[in-house]
Amino acid sequence: MRPLKIVVLAKQVPDTRHVGPDAMKPDGTVNRGKLATVFNPDDLHALELALNIKDRVPGTHVTILTMGPQKAADIIREGYYRGVDDGIMISDRRFGGADTLATSYTIVQAIKKIADYDLIVGGRQAIDGDTAQVGPQCADKLNIPQVTYVEEILNIEEDKIIARRRLENGVETVAAPYPCLMTVHGSSPECRSRHAKKVMKYKYARTKTEMRKGYPILEELHKKRPYLVIPEWSVEDIKADETKIGLAGSPTKVKSVSSIVLTATESKVLTDSDSDIEGMIKELIKHHTIG
Amino acid sequence: MNMKSVFVYCEVENQEVAEISQELLSAGKRLAQKLGCPLDAMIFGNDLGAIESQISPYGVDKLFIADDKRLEPYTTLPHASLAHKVLKEQEPQIVLFGATSIGRDLAPRLASKLNCGLTADTTILDIGDHFVKKEKKEYKDLLYAIRPAFGGSIMANIINWDMHPQMATVREGVMKKEVFDANYKTEVISINTNDIVKDEDFVLEIIERHIEESEVNLKEAPIIVAGGYGVGSKENFDLLKNLANILGGEVGGSRAAVDAGFIEHNRQIGQTGTTVRPKLYIAAGISGAIQHTAGMQDASMIISINNDPDAPINDIADYVITGDLGVVLPKMIKYYKENAK
């Protein structure tokens, strides 16, 4: 089997699974600063899927691609710690405020710059929006087939890849040709942990922007070990049309947000006494709710 | 007035229009009536000769059918090519899909093709206006696609005023299904698949398929007895099962109860599980996190049984019983048996 070239799409997200009381401002908007950021859980599954293929097909090359503010370079480092070969960061203030359509356009411009790939994998969805849209939108823009909700790669063949998909009410096994795009379901295997030697090797990996404040020792190290410089692509680097990125390229806008308020009902408050419960049951039967 | 239609993509399997699609047709009709525009639909599958009769009663004006054995089971590319062709020609103002394995696979691909906006997992659909400050312009009759966001802690109203159609995927079980007119006259337009779908669209091969007829049908159950973490153990859930069996209902659970292994995953109720609207919902040992109540608050009647008199779920309950469910549930069974005819 020939080695594959895989691109993993990964995103840094606010940890919406642990929304504390101070995560909401009094006006009902989200206080992003109070939410910790994490590697999007489904994207970690996608990373594992790619690394698993690399284990099975020696010589396979895995590149991790992320888009976000400088802090998102953590995603690239995390990828290195677990075994990717390359990392690329798409970062430019002008990309900010993008919805899924503008995001997929931006990612696809970067993938076109990478040019050579057999497989693109990403998580099924990101926990900051749960939209599950960017994967299929990228596949469309690249004009390649998509295989969503992948749970396991069953077989890797010369001209096709066999995967099992997890649907809401069952499973489906499909064969897809290369190149194709897969989104990975959370029921697939968990990502392997960091490799201690790789952590030692890559812990000083930084983007140029991260280095801007001046770290002379790191700069020396980066000269000696160029693999520690994380490539950073701007609007110009990926030849993006500015009308198609960021807020300008995003058709969906948030008109308003509101906290969920439970509408109070006038409730009958009962004890667990026999008379209270018998009374309630009789009322329910009388009103044909039960019986 | 904008006479462009509201459009629904219908899912079908073995000549049966999916439940979610019937919900969407009902919701679509309500939007179309608010807008004073037609409701149109499309359906692609195999052996659809008699499918019109399942769709017309929802008040569909035009129905586009592609009938070809290669269209079932669903694969992305042929359905995307067909839907793209229909939507490009018909230029609807709104398009609705189910937030299902199929809808969430197809809709984003189409949104990319049409270069339009798409809101995921909508739970409320409405029509309203929006003033765009930058343009000093009021946009009339836009789709308000309202959905839970940030893990369910807020509701966001998503709009799209300039890159139409306005598309949304809609959660299952949220929209009320209602027949509009049993004798509604629908114009049927047959599409010749070969004219539109290229051979390359069939590159993906389905090797094997196991679709389980879900034995649990929470959505259809008139009565649900649901337990939370407060139930305490898998064994204690038997109490809930007994009550559900006697009342002719189903057992459900909160996410916490599922995570704790008290009850199977396919019985989870709430934002990440099933949304239900039964006649009676009995919540035992459920505190009532928003993620849970969002999936059951439309029940006609809610009974909360909890040790904690201040459990948030009590705010939406019609009956609040403060006490131990080990005491309360057997008494409910006893008095039901004594009093039911």
pLDDT given for residue B118 in this prediction: 98
The two three-digit tokens of residue A275, written as one number: 């008379």
Contact B3, B151 (CB under 8 A): no
Minimal CA separation from A5 to chain B, in Å: 20
Q: Where do the domains of chain B lie?
A: 6-202, 223-339
Nearest to B116 among A145, A251, A269 (CB): A251
- pLDDT beyond 60 at A263: no
Distance between CA atoms of B280 and A291, rounded to whole angstroms? Answer: 12
User: Taking residues B74-101, what's their average pLDDT?
Assistant: 97
Kindly report the length of chain A: 291
Q: For B150-165, what is each residue's pLDDT tens digit?
A: 766 678 999 999 999 9
pLDDT value of position A132: 96
Cβ contact B275:B220 at 8 Å: no
Q: Which residue from A145, A176, A101 is spatially nearest to B76, judged by alpha carbons?
A: A145
Whether pLDDT at B213 is above 70: no
Residue with tokens 């439309």: B298
Contact A137 B112 (CB under 8 A): yes
Give the residue among B44, B91, B74 at the shortest CA–CA distance from B189.
Answer: B44
CA angle in degrees (0–180, nearest 5) for B189-B195-B201 = 115
Best mutation target among B95, B104, B169, B291 (most A Cβ atoms within 10 Å) is: B104
pLDDT for B12-66, tens place per residue? 999 999 999 999 999 999 999 999 999 999 999 999 999 999 999 999 999 999 9
* B11 Cβ neighbours under 8 A, 6+ residues apart: B17, B18, B20, B21, B74, B98, B100, B102, B103
HSE-up (13 A, CA, CB side) for residue B238? 3
Tell me the domain boundaries of chain A.
Answer: 5-244
pLDDT at B1 over 80: no
Neighboring chain B residues of A139 at a CB cutoff of 8 Å? 109
Instruction: Report yes or no for ipTM above 0.90.
Output: no
Q: What angle do CA B132, B7, B206 make, to 5 degrees?
A: 120
Query: How close A177 comes to chain B (CA, Å)?
Result: 7
* CB-based contact A184:A123 (threshold 8 Å): yes
Q: Residue A131: CB partners within 8 Å, gap ≥ 6?
A: A100, A125, B108, B118, B120, B121
Mean pLDDT of chain B: 93
Q: Which residues fall within 8 angstroms of residue B135, CB to CB, at 6 or more apart?
A: none
A260 by Cβ neighbours in 10 Å (0-12 / 13-18 / 19+) ranks as middle
Residue A95 distance to chain B (closest CA, Å): 17
Work out the average pLDDT over A63-70. 96
Classified as helix, coil or strand, A108 is helix
- C-alpha span between B44 and A251 (Å, rounded): 28
- Report which residue type is found at B311: A
Which range has the worst mean pLDDT, A259-263, B56-60, B85-89, B316-320? Answer: A259-263
DSSP 8-state symbol, A133: -
- Across the interface, of B120, B206, B324, the residue whose CB is closest to A172 is B206
Q: Quick one: pLDDT at residue B211?
A: 83
Domain covering A5-244 assigned CATH 3.40.50.620 in the classification: yes
Evaluate if residue A19 carries a pLDDT over 70. no
What pLDDT, on the 0 to 100 scale, is given for residue B337?
A: 87
Q: Does the domain formed by B223-339 have CATH 3.40.50.300?
A: no
Among residues B10, B37, B5, which one has the least CA distance to residue B170?
B10
- In this predicted structure, the answer to whether residue A240 has a pLDDT above a threshold of 70 is yes
Size (chain B), residues: 341
Classify burial at A33, counting beta carbons within 10 Å of its beta carbon; exposed 0-12, middle 13-18, buried 19 or more: exposed
Q: Do B321 and A272 touch (CB under 8 A)?
A: yes
Q: Does domain B6-202 have CATH number 3.30.1050.10?
A: no
pLDDT tens sequence across B218-274: 888 889 999 999 999 999 999 999 999 888 889 999 988 988 889 988 899 988 788
SS3 A277: helix
Higher pLDDT, A32 or B42: B42
Nearest CB among A129, A175, A257 relative to B207 is that of A175
Q: How many CA atoms lie within 13 A of A236 on its CB side?
A: 0
Following CA atoms A145, A146, A150, A154 in sequence, which dihedral angle do they give, to the nearest 10 degrees?
A: 10
Q: Which of A109-118, A224-233, B135-144, B212-221 has the lowest average pLDDT?
A: B212-221
Q: How confident is the model at residue A241 (pLDDT cuts 50, 70, 90)?
A: very high
